[in-house]
Amino acid sequence: MSDGSGCREPTETAAQISDDGVFVVGTDTGVGKTVVTAGLTGWLRERETEAVAVKPCQTGYPPDDDAAFVESICGTPEAAVCLKRLSPPLAPEVAARESETDVTLSYESIRDAVIDTVETSETAVIEGIGGLHVPLADGREVVDLVTDVGLPALVVARSGLGTLNHTGLTARALRRRGVPVVGVVLNEYEGATTAERTNPAVIERMTDAPVWTVPPLDTESSAGVIDGISERLPASVLDPAIER
C-alpha cells in the first residue's frame, strides 16, 4: 500500500533487521547513513535493546566523527564504537596510504573486529563508509565487509534527481553477494520536485524492496533524530512479531 509519497506505508515490510543487527549502507558519501544509524540505535535502545553502532573506519577525523554523533544522540558513550580513525578525508585504503603518520590498515583486522563486536553485542548497527565499492583495505571494498559480516542491509539514498541509478545498482550488488535488503531509506525527502515525488515508487519497483521516506530531521536533537526514524520506518522492521 502506498502513502502520499508513493512509498509503502510504515505498516508493510518484506524483511527485518536480524536479532544480531543490520548493516546500514549508502549509495554514496553524505547521503545520511550516520543519521539513520543514530536513529536506529537510539530507537533500539529505547526498546530496551542494548544496541551498539559500529563505525569500522572513520576518515576525515577530526572533524568527522560519526561514532561521537551517535553517542550524543543516544546520550551515552556505550551506544557507539569506532574501530579505526584516519585523518585524510578519503577512502580508507587511500587515507591510510596518504596519512602523514605511519598507518597500517588491514582488511582482516577490520573484518574480525566488526564480527567480534556483532558477536559480543545484543544488537549491532554497522555503518558503512561511503558507497559499496569504496576501497577499504588490502584491495577489498566495503561490499566485501558487508558480505563477510553477514547481516541484512538497509540502504540509505538521496531523495532527488540522480538517485535511481545509484540505488538500483546498490541493491543489485548486495543481492548478488547474497545480502538480504531490508529496504531503502530516501533521506531528506521533501517532495518538492517531480523526481522526489516519483522516485519512491520507481525505486520500489526497481529493487523489489520497501521504500521509506525520511524528511530533513533536527540533528541537534536526540528526539528529532530518534523519533524521526521511528516514525517513518515500521516497527516490524525491528520485530517481526509486530503485526504489519
**CA distances (Å), 16 to each of 21, 25, 149, 188, 243, in order?**
9, 15, 16, 23, 12
Structural domain includes residue 12: no
The pTM of the whole model exceeds 0.75: yes
What pLDDT, in 10s, does the model give residues 54-112?
999 999 999 999 999 999 999 999 999 999 999 999 999 999 999 878 888 999 999 99
Query: What is the rounded CA–CA span in Å between residue 235 and residue 208?
Result: 20
Structural domain includes residue 39: yes
The pLDDT value given to residue 6 = 44
Structural domain includes residue 148: yes
pLDDT band at 225 (very low <50, low <70, confident <90, very high): very high
End-to-end CA distance of the chain: 11
Structural domain includes residue 196: yes
- Facing residues of 85 across strands? 58
Structural domain includes residue 129: yes
Structural domain includes residue 14: no
84 part of the active site? no
* Stronger pLDDT, 14 or 128, i.e. the higher one: 128
Nearest to 116 by CA among 89, 83, 68, 159: 83
Structural domain includes residue 240: no
The pLDDT value given to residue 158 = 98
Structural domain includes residue 42: yes
Range of the domain at 188: 24-232
Q: What is the mean pLDDT of residues 118-133?
A: 97
What percentage of the chain exceeds 90 in pLDDT?
86
Q: Which of 55, 111, 140, 232 is catalytic?
A: 55
Residue 17 carries which side chain, given as an amino acid letter? I
The pLDDT value given to residue 244 = 47
Query: What is the rounded CA–CA span in Å between residue 20 and residue 84?
Result: 22
Q: Which residues are annotated as a binding site for Mg(2+)?
A: 34, 66, 127
Q: Which residues are annotated as a binding site for ATP?
A: 30-35, 66, 127-130, 187-188, 215-217
pLDDT at 149 over 80: yes
What DSSP state is assigned to residue 199?
Answer: H
pLDDT at 114 over 70: yes
Q: Which residues are annotated as a binding site?
A: 30-35, 59, 66, 127-130, 187-188, 215-217
CATH number at 215 reads 3.40.50.300
Number of domains in the chain: 1
CB 156 within 8 A of CB 34: no
What pLDDT, in 10s, does the model give residues 127-143?
999 999 999 999 999 99
- Residue 236 makes CB contacts below 8 A (sequence gap 6+) with 11, 13, 16, 242, 243, 244
